[in-house]
Structure 1
């Protein structure tokens, strides 16, 4: 809901530029927060965590994922990261102006730990997504080896999960760094 609310704020600001949000720095902060909320808290946990972990065993005719407790651990990291992200907004917020990355931020020194908490939140979300991706890939590979399934017999959803998982494993560190410096 917070991500959709930030999307509404961005749309209102784009309709009448400069009348609702007074500064460009505040607008840039809203855009960065919206990107982090939607990518890391909505798309990745929903597509990989919920749908991927629920539908992958069903489509491969397996009882469960190869590492079922890894799902619990990765979802726990999402909730912990959301708590850290919300806690970093307390007091004065990250105090970073237009970026989370401290050397590029407007202030040289941040008095509290908000910047550190927001960066830790991004790292936990990245780790959670990588763990989910590894679990999905290992489940698909295990199912192919044990049930002697041919690659042509896999459904398009399983293929999309595998391609997305490989891309996430290779690009999440870069994406987290890019969003941190956005």
Structure 2
């Protein structure tokens, strides 16, 4: 939808777009299959309990669910980088700045926020 709104045929990095798309189902599969390893991850839907201490439910299921979250974050970062570079480089001549559709502006803000915040969150769940 984004390239069509900018008057382009495709994104700047179509392979990165494809890779980030296929990381998401792999992440979902890993997150769901972590329930069946040993006793499951035991963290609930918020992943709030301590994930790496003995007070929490540490083990390979938690490690697998954390890796699934890292994979989902990598998918979002890849898609965001692709959106940002496509928005910056693809619009036709008359579609710069205030002439862009509001959806493209909102995707730009969302992509910038994801690129800035997801590495910090990934570092937080790794600790």
TM range (shorter): 0.7 to 0.9
SS at match of 2:8: coil
Q: Is the 8 A contact 1:56 1:158 kept in 2?
A: yes
Does 2:14 match 1:64?
A: no
SS at match of 1:162: helix
Are residues 130 and 100 of structure 1, via their aligned partners in 2, closer, same or farther at CA, if it must alter by over 3 Å?
Answer: farther
Are residues 86 and 143 of structure 1, via their aligned partners in 2, closer, same or farther at CA, if it must alter by over 3 Å?
Answer: same
Post-superposition CA distance 1:22-57 (Å, at most 9, x none): xxxxxxxxxxxxxxxxxxxxxxxxxxxxxxxxx110
| Selected match of 2:88 from 127, 133, 141 | 141
Structure 2, gaps ≥5 residues long: none
How many corresponding residue pairs?
Answer: 122
Q: Alpha carbon RMSD of aligned pairs, Å?
A: 2.4
Q: Is the 8 A contact 2:34 2:64 kept in 1?
A: yes
Are residues 115 and 100 of structure 1, via their aligned partners in 2, closer, same or farther at CA, if it must alter by over 3 Å?
Answer: farther
Does 2:119 match 1:173?
A: yes
**Greater share of helix:** 1
Q: Is the 8 A contact 2:17 2:79 kept in 1?
A: yes
Choose between structure 1 and 2 for higher RCO, CA contacts under 8 A separated by at least 6 residues: 2
> Corresponding residue for 1:122?
69
State the 1:105 CA deviation: 4.4
State the 1:76 CA deviation: 1.0
Structure 1, gaps ≥5 residues long: 1-54
